Structure 1
Amino acid sequence: MAQKEYTANFEKVLLHCVAQPDPMLSMLEWLCEELMEAEISQKVGASKHEQEKERSTHRSGYRPRRFDTRMGTMYLMVPKVRNGGYIPFFVSERKRSEAALVQVIQEAFVQGVSTRKMNKLAKSLGIDNLSHSQVSAMAKGLDEQVQEFRSRRLDDSTYPVLWVDALYEKIRYDGRIISMAVLLVCGVDETGKRHILAIEPMLEESKQSYTQLFENLKERGLKTPSLVVSDAHKGLVTAISESFPGTAWQRCKVHFMRNILAHIPHKDKESFAAQLKQIWMAPTVEEAHQRAEQLVHKYEKRFPEAIQILENGLEDSLQFFCFSKLDARKISSTNMLERLNREIRRRTNVVGIFPSKDSYIRLVTTYLMEYEEEWSVSRSYISQLAIQQTLQTNAA
């Protein structure tokens, strides 16, 4: 009886798909939905609407996700869970040709490659029959995803810690090839998960450009953070203080050390750097000050310029001690962004000179969207308990 009922239901599905403009794509979409339902039920420990005491978490609605295949593009409603995150296995484990398809379109579209050449590239991956309309449709889809990601609302979460940095890329602008600043902002939410909050191209790093960046974030719903970590660019530091009154600023210790070591002779660099590093490895802020004083007394006559820079910027580089619950290694520098920037450069090197700032933003944002998705199902970057304790302390 059960077998007959299942067969009858399946026939209804087939008849529904056959009536659609693209029956095979419709069938694939139905199959993906069934696979997600089975996978999410296993992850939660209970089927939909089932009351189960042994369940590991709960469902929490759905989120739309574009999924490109050789049959075409479909928009899936991916189930969300309260704890742990969820990415369908067929998205994270799809075949190389499927994963490469979007990447080929992205990079070829960015470089203004002809449809004929794009077909040649695609065929090298075992993908046939790329038409101009398909290329245009996917390019349009990319732009829509990029715009949605870059303009999404930030009201739903609090981001107590932000990291801000800039990298430079060669971009064709107004008929010239220039080195354009691309400003990147990452943050951790109240659960300790990392998020990419902004990717903005600017003609220069200045107070005005950074103020515009922060005002755009505030318009999207960003609440005032507790701590911002960055280098000591004057325009950036001023924009932070004016845009986020009451927010602490942590000067990146790595950039700070580089600034100091630039005034140390090469033969003394290794020894001096080893001693300098000990300041930020101190267990307390008092001990850090003591180590700094010892270094000043030892080298103020030999390296006066380096010591002057150390004395002027020391306090700003020790602000992380005020957030004792948070991992000092992660909030004392912009290393997290430095690693991300290296990965961006590794991928953008295949392009070289971008034909426009829009082409750069299109390609990089799609990569960063992938990182954000991976972060959503990985371990918290900073302990959730530590974040909650910090938020409570600041609210008191």
Structure 2
Amino acid sequence: MQATMNEVAQRVGLRGKHQAGRQAYRHGWEPGWVVIGGCKVHVKRPRVRQKASGEVRLESYAWAQQENRLDEAVLARMLHGVATRSYAATLEDVGEVEAFGTSKSRVGQRFIRQMEAKLREHLSRRLDELRLVALRVDGVRIDEWTVVVALGVDSEGRKHVLGLREGATENEATVRSLLEDLVERGLRYDQGLLVVIDGAKALRAAVRAVFGKQAVVQRCTVHKKRNVLDHLPESEKRWVGRKLTQTYREPEYSAAKAALERLADQLEEQHPGAAASLREGLEETLTLHRLGIPGLLRTSLSSTNLAESALSAFEAKGDRVKRWRSGQQAERWAGMALLYAESRFRRLRGHRLVPMLQEALRRELGLERAITEPALVAG
């Protein structure tokens, strides 16, 4: 309160000293509160009145009451794993003054309000200036709800959380709504866009409906491997898993494709389900191979693991929730984990090779010819 006392002295002069022509005077004290150390505390605040127009607003006191500082303190602690019931125990010692506003319910309300505001701001921002080369779409299961997440990689290899929706990847309407929102916010894909997805047919249909031929689809090799192994007995999983890993590391497209087809043939007689799973979408699991993208960048972009690893931060925090009440709550917690992860994202491994991917996408869509052919005619 020292700043407020100094402001009072500036307005009415020092106590006990005459100040000619002054227009305001002290008017006693009244109960008040200020934000200190992540909580509200009760204080006595001085009052000042104008001779002509009544109560004077003390700017320093108004600043000390700004609740956005308290909201930010709550959000920061929650993002670092502090439970609502433990919030008060993390606060700084504010001395003998009485603190309040730190109950579990109050902290929870502040967190929800702040988190929803942050998500609205982040997930409604314009994307016109963002030059994306890759888009990853995946779903995460939270209790009985699924949240579909869209993460982008720009031309410099930086990763961005772009959007999320509560709903399953098996629901075309949900995914399509999410992708259409990105386009409405200015996402550009006229130079081609690599879209990394799992094997959900509805997801593939939504990508085709929104982006058309400008989307070049890469099926997630991690999901493919998981799906194939799910059809096998435990005794067969190890060698098949090892074979799939080795094959997807194969640098040449033709060699990788031939190896996958041989493996499917090997599995056909004893494990036809695994063979069928491997053959389904096989070509799209090799899109980056076919485009000629080399090892490190190909490995980084051939799966939706970025979404899963970003949401792994959710697991520890989500475990504290005793009862999931709605899809909105699941969406909010997933958003919290994603924004927390985004602030710690590193550039994509192999990001120096991103220009090679851009060139390959243009070539895939025939855009290279569109650029070079006029020059040939002019010559």
Give the TM-score of the pair, scaled to structure 1: 0.65
What corresponds to 1:226 in structure 2? 193
Matched, 1:237 2:210: no
Cα separation, 2, equivalents of 1:185 and 1:389? 23
Matched, 1:371 2:341: yes
Tell me if the contact between 1:202 and 1:209 (Cα under 8 Å) persists in the aligned partners: yes
Bigger drift between 331-340 and 133-142 goes to: 133-142
Cα drift, residue 139 of structure 1 = 4.7
1:298-348 superposed Cα distances (whole Å, 9 cap, x missing partner): 333222222222223211111121151571111111122222233222221
Instruction: Label 1:70 to 1:359 Cα distance change in 2 as closer, same or farther (>3 A).
Output: farther
1:14-41 superposed Cα distances (whole Å, 9 cap, x missing partner): 979x89xx9x98xxxxxxxxxxxxxxxx
Tell me if the contact between 1:186 and 1:196 (Cα under 8 Å) persists in the aligned partners: yes
Query: Which one-letter code corresponds to 1:100 in the other structure?
Result: R
What corresponds to 1:253 in structure 2? 221
Matched, 1:324 2:289: no
Matched, 1:160 2:153: no
Query: Which one-letter code corresponds to 1:230 in the other structure?
Result: I
1:59-79 superposed Cα distances (whole Å, 9 cap, x missing partner): xxxxxxxxxx9985359xxxx
Secondary structure at 1:232 match in 2:
coil
| Superposition RMSD in Å | 3.6
Cα separation, 1, equivalents of 2:158 and 2:227? 31
Instruction: Label 1:266 to 1:124 Cα distance change in 2 as closer, same or farther (>3 A).
Output: same
Give the TM-score of the pair, scaled to structure 2: 0.68
Cα separation, 2, equivalents of 1:307 and 1:350? 41
Cα drift, residue 98 of structure 1 = 9.3
Cα separation, 2, equivalents of 1:292 and 1:308? 12
Matched, 1:143 2:116: yes
Tell me if the contact between 1:193 and 1:382 (Cα under 8 Å) persists in the aligned partners: no
Matched, 1:100 2:77: yes
Instruction: Label 1:138 to 1:272 Cα distance change in 2 as closer, same or farther (>3 A).
Output: closer
The partner residue of 2:68 within 44, 61, 73 is 73
Cα drift, residue 287 of structure 1 = 0.8
Cα separation, 2, equivalents of 1:98 and 1:316? 41
Instruction: In structure 2, list runs of 5 or more residues that go unmatched.
Output: 12-31, 36-63, 369-379
Cα separation, 2, equivalents of 1:271 and 1:352? 40
1:228-282 superposed Cα distances (whole Å, 9 cap, x missing partner): 1111111101111111112111111111122222222222221222223322121
Cα drift, residue 374 of structure 1 = 2.2
Secondary structure at 1:364 match in 2:
helix
Cα drift, residue 153 of structure 1 = 1.2
Cα separation, 2, equivalents of 1:160 and 1:363? 28
What corresponds to 1:300 in structure 2? 268
The partner residue of 2:173 within 179, 191, 208 is 208
Instruction: Label 1:328 to 1:201 Cα distance change in 2 as closer, same or farther (>3 A).
Output: same
Tell me if the contact between 1:320 and 1:332 (Cα under 8 Å) persists in the aligned partners: yes
Cα separation, 2, equivalents of 1:265 and 1:368? 35
Cα drift, residue 196 of structure 1 = 0.7
Cα separation, 1, equivalents of 2:232 and 2:110? 56
Secondary structure at 2:205 match in 1:
helix
Query: Which one-letter code corresponds to 2:203 in the other structure?
Result: L
Instruction: Label 1:74 to 1:229 Cα distance change in 2 as closer, same or farther (>3 A).
Output: same
Tell me if the contact between 1:278 and 1:291 (Cα under 8 Å) persists in the aligned partners: no
Instruction: Label 1:132 to 1:139 Cα distance change in 2 as closer, same or farther (>3 A).
Output: farther
Q: Trace 1:151-190 onto structure 2 (pairs within 5 A).
A: 151-170=124-143, 179-190=144-155
Instruction: Label 1:299 to 1:223 Cα distance change in 2 as closer, same or farther (>3 A).
Output: same
Instruction: Label 1:215 to 1:268 Cα distance change in 2 as closer, same or farther (>3 A).
Output: same
Matched, 1:287 2:255: yes
What corresponds to 2:331 in structure 1? 361
Cα drift, residue 365 of structure 1 = 2.1
Cα drift, residue 155 of structure 1 = 1.0
Cα separation, 1, equivalents of 2:148 and 2:203? 11
Instruction: In structure 1, list runs of 5 or more residues that go unmatched.
Output: 1-10, 26-68, 76-90, 109-117, 171-178
